Amino acid sequence: MFLKLSAAMTTVAAAGIGLERTLANGNPPEGFAKAGGRSQPIEAKVDRKTGDVTINPDVIMRHSMCMGCYGSCGNRIKIDRKTGQILRVQGNPYNRTSADTLPYEAPLTEAYQAFSQYQDKGLTHRGAICARGNSTIASHYDPMRVLVPLKRAGARGEGKWKPLTWEKAIEETVEGGKLFAEIGEDRVVEGFRQVYDRKTPLDPANPWYGPKSNQLVINGGRGDGRSDFMPRFSGAFGTPNYFRHSTT
């Protein structure tokens, strides 16, 4: 029985039934092109004997870092030059969390060789990422991904939102006012300009609350480049209430 099951699994693997085939047969979200099959344009050709690299001009390769989790491993993005669409996400041979790393000064030709059979470099330096890292391509093209500022357009908890321009979002955040008057709320929401007060007590009856600027609380999510900026901003503003994701 074990041998029969093993043979069946081998047949399935050989037939190529997997995630890519599932995506090819399904209906992808808007912006995520329907796959025509399992094949993709190659990024480059590497001569197994000489190591010479012939790059495919229709494909762009970019070395970056994965934001699929807090590991921030290296990744390598394959992009269709004509459409700008991401075709594949791979490991980064220059990143220690992805491979037995290439030196940073190694030319990009060696990065191509790291995914080839030339001098068995593919066995040594080939970068790898986990399933979550591979799935970031789906997150990138997720139709529910938030790409612009959103403002509440209904009662709290109602789940109604409307998009704002970045300029309008900054204006309302800084200036405050009756920001929800259009949905019948008469209350005044203080903006950064009103809260930025390092002299007036937040609550005269409880001076240990500190100045009014302590009203600002920054409860951050992932850093993604903001971790160095936010504590400097909160310090300059005059509030100690900066919480990173891990401090929650």
Q: What pLDDT score does 69 carry?
A: 83
Q: What pLDDT score does 223 carry?
A: 63
CA distance 67 to 245: 15
pLDDT band at 127 (very low <50, low <70, confident <90, very high): confident
Check pLDDT > 70 for residue 21: no
pLDDT in tens, 130-167: 999 999 999 899 998 999 999 999 999 999 999 999 99
Check pLDDT > 50 for residue 12: no
Check pLDDT > 60 for residue 23: no
The least confident of 70-74, 90-94, 105-109 is: 70-74
Q: What pLDDT score does 197 carry?
A: 95
Check pLDDT > 90 for residue 200: yes
Q: What pLDDT score does 39 carry?
A: 77
DSSP 118: G
- Where does the chain have alpha helices with state H? 2-15, 19-25, 108-113, 121-124, 131-134, 136-140, 166-175, 192-195, 229-237
CA angle 86, 71, 88 (to 5 degrees): 15
pLDDT in tens, 48-66: 899 999 999 999 999 998 8
DSSP 183: G
Whole-angstrom Cα Rg for the chain: 26
Q: What pLDDT score does 118 carry?
A: 86
Cβ neighbours of residue 240 under 8 Å, at least 6 residues apart? 210, 214, 234
CA distance 23 to 88: 13
Q: Name residue, tokens 């001076």.
A: 207
Between 6 and 152, residue with greater pLDDT: 152
Q: Where are the domains of the chain?
A: 38-140, 150-247
- Residue 74 forms beta bridges with which residues? 65
Using DSSP's 3-state secondary structure scheme, residue 230 falls into helix
